[in-house]
A = this chain, B = another copy of it.
Amino acid sequence: MNSARIDLRAIIKQEGLRYTTQREAVWRELQSSDNHRDAESIYFTLRGRSINISRATVYRTIEILVKYNLVRKLDLGDGRSRFECKLGSGHHDHLICTKCGRIDEFVNDDVEELQKSIAAENNYVLSNHIHQLFGLCENCQNEEDK
């Protein structure tokens, strides 16, 4: 339910930080809407709801959410960071349509295992990875036929 909201307040408090309307708004927005949002989009959505917030605060709040592992930061290669709420979904990677920008998610345990062995072979201790597949989604393939 809204355990998520409670989570943020608890974390915020525990760290001696303050639970502000701006922080709550960004967190709710990231939870309730589609994932893979960029900062500008969050900023405009909240402004459109008459919530008083600045770009700087959007960025600062997201930074906190990422720090406390509630939000994942994505670099999809288009110059702006995207963010997705980590509640309610496990680790996944992304398929991105180069034509329409559609983003799909995939989970593949075999690849995850191979990543571990690649790291081991190269004497790396892994912390994270980026795995993104770019191409044409089904819709955009069909439009190519015209």
Binding site for B on A (CB under 8 A): 75, 77, 95, 97-98, 104, 106, 108, 110-111, 114-115, 118-119, 121-138, 141
With a cutoff of 8 Å between Cβ atoms, the chain B residues found around residue A110 in the complex are 110, 114
Across the interface, A134 reaches (CB within 8 A) one of B104, B126, B137, namely B126
Give the distance in Å from the alpha carbon of A115 to the alpha carbon of B115 in the complex.
13
Across the interface, A131 reaches (CB within 8 A) one of B75, B77, B130, namely B130
Q: A118-B95, A130-B77 are in contact. Are A124 and B137 (CB under 8 A)?
A: yes
* Copies assembled: 2
Instruction: Please list the 8 inter-chain residue pairs (A to B) with the smallest Cβ-Cβ separation, ordered nearest first.
Output: A123-B138, A126-B135, A124-B135, A130-B132, A125-B136, A127-B135, A129-B133, A125-B135
Across the interface, A124 reaches (CB within 8 A) one of B75, B122, B126, B136, namely B136
